[in-house]
Structure 1
Amino acid sequence: MKRAAALAALALVVTGSVAQAASCAPDAAILLTPDGREQRVTVEIADDAAERAQGLMYRKSLPPDHGMLFVYQSPQPTSFWMKNTLIPLDILFFDARGVLRHVHSQARPLDLTSLPGALPGDPDPNRMFVLELAGGEAARKGLVPGTALGHPAVPQDDAARPCD
């Protein structure tokens, strides 16, 4: 009986059923870099106005491989600032397909400068997802424009990195 249960569990792993659920968990962002490396980040979700306004303010630390994913209802111009944010952050801006379009590295704590989600001249300045990581994490993980975000919040019918 125990052997049958173990074989059934192994079959689920081999067929990908267990991996599917894990790769699309709401508390995990899967990032596929342009060179084919996959990075996983545990995320808190900020998907309403109050959560997005609070963000990571007042935090004294943010562990490696952890961050906050800001989710907007539709693509729109976005900008962030570091008011009341006590730690340096990397701020990654993604379009509606989950493609990383712009990275602002090492945003300075407590700085009130507006950090836009698009560079001047970008033909599509709209962003739907923003991922904040501890300062330096984007470079350490190789997260550059073109990286694809896998997450259940990304519309799956046109996702650059659909959920498995």
Structure 2
Amino acid sequence: MLRHLRTILIAFTLIFAGFVQPSLGDVPVAEGQPMLLPTDRAPLVVETAGGSVQFSIEVADTDMKRSAGLMFRTAMADDHGMLFVFDQTRRLSFWMKNTPMPLDLIFVGEDGRVVATLPGEPFSTASIGPEEPARFVLELKAGTAQKSGIADGDRIRHPLIDRVAGAD
């Protein structure tokens, strides 16, 4: 009996595996069209005076994800970051409690343009935020903004930002 049950279980698994294919969020793709990635896998591009710079990002778009942020992380690739997405434009401030890595905090307005870039010191509970309102915050390893030539007024492109800013 155990042998038959095992055979049935293996057959069911093989049949089921043949019908279930991994997907990228069931994004429909028209023939001849490029496949669109879900917004949490789409690259973020900063258009600087020196050219475009691309980052692989994680998206923090819920209260729980925004609260966790990059806390407790000790390393991150140079081309990686986290994009914090807020429901409305307002004065934003962050702190670095429980965050051992120094960071660049790039505040972005609803128009997709950099409002300010501020340093985040490890484990600091000091409030970090510009006077100007922002809708998004991009966190990168400390020094990445300067090395990449990111400056106030640069345009940041990502599907989540472009939806708010509109394409230009």
Tell me the TM-score range normalised by the shorter chain.
0.7 to 0.9
Where structure 1 has 5 or more consecutive residues not aligned to the other structure, the ranges are 1-11, 120-124
Residues 131-150 of structure 1 aligned to structure 2 (within 5 Å): 131-150=138-157
The 3-state SS of whatever aligns with 1:112 is coil
1:134-156 CA-partner distances (Å, limit 9, x unpaired): 01100110011011111111244
CA distance in 2, matches of 1:74, 1:155: 14
Residues 7-156 of structure 1 aligned to structure 2 (within 5 Å): 18=34, 21=36, 25-27=39-41, 28-33=43-48, 35=49, 37-105=51-119, 107-116=120-129, 118-119=130-131, 125-156=132-163
Cα 1:83–1:100 shift into 2, 3 Å: same
Structure number, greater radius of gyration: 2
Cα 1:56–1:37 shift into 2, 3 Å: same
Tell me which moved more, 149-158 or 88-97.
149-158
Equivalences, count: 136
Do 1:26 and 1:152's aligned partners in 2 also have CA atoms closer than 8 Å? no
1:77-103 CA-partner distances (Å, limit 9, x unpaired): 100110000110000000001100100
Misfit runs of 4+, over 2 Å = 24-27, 155-159
What is the TM-score with the length of structure 1 in the denominator? 0.76
CA distance in 1, matches of 2:123, 2:106: 18
Structure with greater contact order relative to length (CA < 8 Å, sep ≥ 6): 1
Shift of 1:157: 6.8
CA distance in 1, matches of 2:44, 2:107: 14
Do 1:89 and 1:135's aligned partners in 2 also have CA atoms closer than 8 Å? yes
CA distance in 1, matches of 2:121, 2:163: 34
Task: Provide the aligned C-alpha RMSD in A.
Answer: 2.1
More strand by share: 1
The 3-state SS of whatever aligns with 2:150 is coil
Identical amino acids, percent of aligned pairs: 31
1:10-66 CA-partner distances (Å, limit 9, x unpaired): xx6xxxx54x947x8533111101x15101000000001111011000001011110
CA distance in 1, matches of 2:164, 2:139: 25
